[in-house]
């Protein structure tokens, strides 16, 4: 004959609170005393504990719909629990809680397992890839083939890899990538120290630094050049290892590692690699003379001008960079980088064959609040600014990287360092007739292209 608890009602009450997660300190003391002195209570506890364990396992597998008891040998326990009136609601509340927590756990685990990096910038990029290539896409392990332009992938460890086409990057894990061919800059902050970049013949371990890497089209040679910090280059075939520090370089072949002055053809020397690159942080704004909010889009810096004075469709754009922590006078050159993107508004045939864009620096400007609609009459005019640079493109061009730099830009930055700097962009070329094309540069909110950037260089050779 099965032994029952001496106080069945009290035992059911205490166990109900225990499995429901509401057992008080006094109740826990009473339950411990009951289990110590009552064999029937201990048997009942074991039975109910097994029931809950079976429920947990059943729900972890996702195989039992809510409202159905688990199969296997728990059917008798389930029936006895119902017959004795043990808190059925408490049982299912516990099971539901376990299911929710397990569901969240596995959802995050799957997400973390499947996604190990993010595509954070894309400049005039054309892809042939098995992975998504929209800006800010989460990337799982796989291959990216960059056919045109530049792009930056930030691994979840914090390491950033900037590719220059043509290049093929294989994403392996948050702390590991493989450059199969092409050129890249790898920058790993302290959080990503130990990041490994493989090549077909070797691999480099980053010790919290910035270095350039280039793999030949055949994959037989891999060049490394340290821009700051230190890396170790390993050659598994020969068991060789080389420690490289700032401005040191080496080339890995099928035979081993050879020290070189620079394994590159010039595209990644200190002159052409920006020492500092900053974004707008979303501080971008377009305005239109008519004031119509539907004619603007936060993803674009919209530009249009016409021969008609005070045409309501005229557009210009503003952007700002924070130089609070930047010593502009420590650099030898600077440039603004824009990504031109198509708008689909208007026709290029109504424009001259060449289009000129101008950038003005606006000193000591009081701007309206970023993120809100700006009125034309409240914004600085061309006469308020200092012309810093002009760039000319063919009227057929609506995509690609556009840069503006020079002494005027650097001097303006030096004069206004220590705080925010404001720029105005205009299309100096005027439309010949109505219905002309509206040009645009991408902002940080554009889904595919990179927003404006301000780059600083330690050598004037970039210009």
In a domain, 77, yes or no: yes
For 136, the token pair is 């800010």
Average pLDDT over residues 432-453: 89
For residue 234, is pLDDT > 90? yes
pLDDT of residue 255: 86
Predicted confidence (pLDDT) per residue in 176-215, tens digit = 999 999 989 999 988 888 999 999 989 999 988 899 999 9
Predicted confidence (pLDDT) per residue in 296-305, tens digit = 999 999 999 9
Mean pLDDT check: name the lowest of 109-118, 150-159, 348-357, 365-374. 109-118
Using CA atoms, how far apart are residues 190 and 183, in angstroms rounded to an integer? 23
Average pLDDT over residues 4-14: 80
Residues 176 and 313 in one domain: no
Using CA atoms, how far apart are residues 297 and 269, in angstroms rounded to an integer? 38
Confidence of residue 365 (pLDDT cuts 50, 70, 90): low
Residues 283 and 403 in one domain: yes
Predicted confidence (pLDDT) per residue in 95-139, tens digit = 444 444 444 444 444 444 589 999 999 887 888 888 999 889 999
Cβ neighbours, 10 Å, residue 423: 25
- 110 within 8 A of 67, measured Cβ to Cβ: no
Residues 341 and 453 in one domain: yes
pLDDT of residue 261: 65
pLDDT of residue 108: 41
For residue 332, is pLDDT > 70? yes
From 160, 142, 140, select the one nearest 152 (Cα to Cα). Answer: 160
pTM for this structure?
Answer: 0.49
pLDDT of residue 424: 97
In a domain, 3, yes or no: no
Q: CATH no. for residue 209? A: 2.60.120.1440
In a domain, 24, yes or no: yes
Cβ neighbours, 10 Å, residue 452: 25
Predicted confidence (pLDDT) per residue in 388-430, tens digit = 999 998 888 888 888 999 999 999 999 998 889 999 999 999 9
Residues 256 and 132 in one domain: yes
Q: Which DSSP string corresponds to 417-436?
A: TTSEEEEEEEE-SPBSSTTB
From 279, 423, 400, select the one nearest 342 (Cα to Cα). Answer: 400
In a domain, 12, yes or no: yes
Question: Which domain does 187 fall in, by range?
Answer: 117-260
In a domain, 1, yes or no: no
Partners of 426 in the beta sheet?
Answer: 358
In the DSSP assignment, the letter for residue 228 is: E
Among residues 89, 113, 137, the one where a domain terminates is 113
Among residues 218, 236, 260, the one where a domain terminates is 260
Higher pLDDT, 128 or 22: 128
Average pLDDT over residues 241-268: 78
> CA 305, 310, 311 angle in degrees (round to 5)?
60
Higher pLDDT, 262 or 64: 262
Q: What is the largest CA-CA distance in the chain?
A: 103
pLDDT of residue 433: 78
Query: What average pLDDT is seen over the chain?
Result: 81
Residues 137 and 194 in one domain: yes
- 277 within 8 A of 321, measured Cβ to Cβ: no
In a domain, 268, yes or no: no
DSSP strand pairing (315-322 vs 354-362): unpaired
In a domain, 56, yes or no: yes
Residues 225 and 283 in one domain: no
- 332 within 8 A of 460, measured Cβ to Cβ: yes
In a domain, 448, yes or no: yes
Residues 236 and 286 in one domain: no
% of the chain at pLDDT higher than 70: 81
Residues 160 and 241 in one domain: yes
Rounded alpha-carbon distances, angstroms, from residue 31 to 44, 52, 84, 93? 12, 18, 18, 21
Among residues 113, 128, 162, the one where a domain terminates is 113
Mean pLDDT check: name the lowest of 56-60, 216-220, 383-387, 398-402. 56-60
230 in helix, strand or coil? strand
329 in helix, strand or coil? helix
Length of the chain: 463
Average pLDDT over residues 341-357: 90
Using CA atoms, how far apart are residues 60 and 46, in angstroms rounded to an integer? 21
Task: Report the number of distinct structural domains present in the chain.
Answer: 3
Residues 148 and 187 in one domain: yes
Residues 220 and 283 in one domain: no
pLDDT of residue 99: 46
Residues 286 and 305 in one domain: yes
Q: CATH no. for residue 412? A: 2.60.120.230
pLDDT of residue 19: 66
Using CA atoms, how far apart are residues 158 and 191, in angstroms rounded to an integer? 6
Rounded alpha-carbon distances, angstroms, from residue 416 to 324, 326, 421, 423? 10, 10, 7, 12
pLDDT of residue 364: 76
pLDDT of residue 21: 63
pLDDT of residue 294: 85
Residues 309 and 418 in one domain: yes
């Amino acid at each position: 004959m099965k032994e029952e608890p001496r106080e069945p009602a009290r035992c059911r009450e205490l166990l109900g609170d225990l499995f429901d997660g509401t057992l008080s300190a006094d109740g826990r003391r009473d339950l411990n005393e009951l289990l110590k002195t009552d064999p029937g209570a201990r048997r009942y506890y074991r039975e109910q504990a097994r029931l809950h364990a079976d429920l947990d396992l059943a729900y972890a597998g996702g195989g039992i719909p809510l409202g159905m008891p688990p199969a296997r040998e728990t059917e008798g326990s389930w029936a006895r629990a119902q017959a004795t009136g043990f808190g059925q609601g408490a049982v299912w509340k516990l099971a539901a809680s376990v299911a929710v927590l397990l569901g969240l756990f596995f959802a995050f685990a799957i997400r973390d397992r499947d996604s190990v990096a993010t595509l954070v910038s894309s400049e005039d990029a054309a892809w042939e890839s098995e992975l998504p290539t929209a800006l800010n896409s989460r990337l799982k392990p796989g291959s990216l083939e960059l056919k045109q332009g530049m792009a930056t992938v930030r691994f979840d460890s914090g390491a950033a890899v900037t590719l220059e086409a043509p290049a093929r990057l294989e994403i392996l894990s948050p702390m590991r990538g493989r450059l199969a061919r092409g050129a890249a800059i790898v920058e790993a902050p302290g959080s990503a120290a130990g990041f490994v970049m493989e090549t077909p013949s070797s691999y480099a371990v980053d010790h919290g630094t910035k270095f350039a890497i280039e793999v030949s089209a055949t994959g037989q040679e891999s060049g490394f050049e340290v821009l700051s910090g230190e890396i170790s280059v390993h050659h598994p075939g020969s068991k060789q290892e080389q420690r490289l520090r700032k401005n040191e370089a080496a080339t890995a072949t099928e035979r081993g590692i050879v020290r070189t002055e620079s394994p590159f053809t010039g595209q990644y020397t200190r002159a052409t690699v920006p020492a500092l690159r900053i974004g707008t942080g979303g501080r971008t704004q377009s305005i239109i003379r008519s004031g119509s909010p539907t004619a603007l889009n936060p993803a674009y810096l919209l530009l249009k001008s016409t021969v008609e004075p005070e045409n309501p469709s005229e557009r210009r754009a503003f952007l700002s960079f924070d130089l609070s922590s930047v010593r502009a006078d420590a650099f030898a050159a600077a440039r603004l980088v824009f990504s031109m993107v198509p708008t689909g508004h208007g026709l290029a045939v109504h424009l001259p064959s060449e289009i000129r864009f101008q950038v003005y620096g606006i000193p000591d400007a009081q701007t309206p609040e970023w993120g809100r609609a700006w009125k034309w009459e409240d914004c600085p005019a061309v006469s308020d600014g200092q012309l810093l640079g002009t760039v000319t493109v063919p009227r057929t061009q609506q995509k690609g990287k556009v840069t503006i730099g020079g002494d005027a830009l650097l001097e303006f930055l030096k004069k206004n360092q220590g705080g925010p700097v404001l720029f105005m962009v205009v299309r100096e070329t005027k439309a010949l007739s109505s219905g002309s094309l509206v040009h645009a540069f991408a902002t940080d909110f554009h889904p595919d292209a990179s927003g404006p950037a301000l780059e600083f260089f330690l050598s004037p050779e970039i210009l």
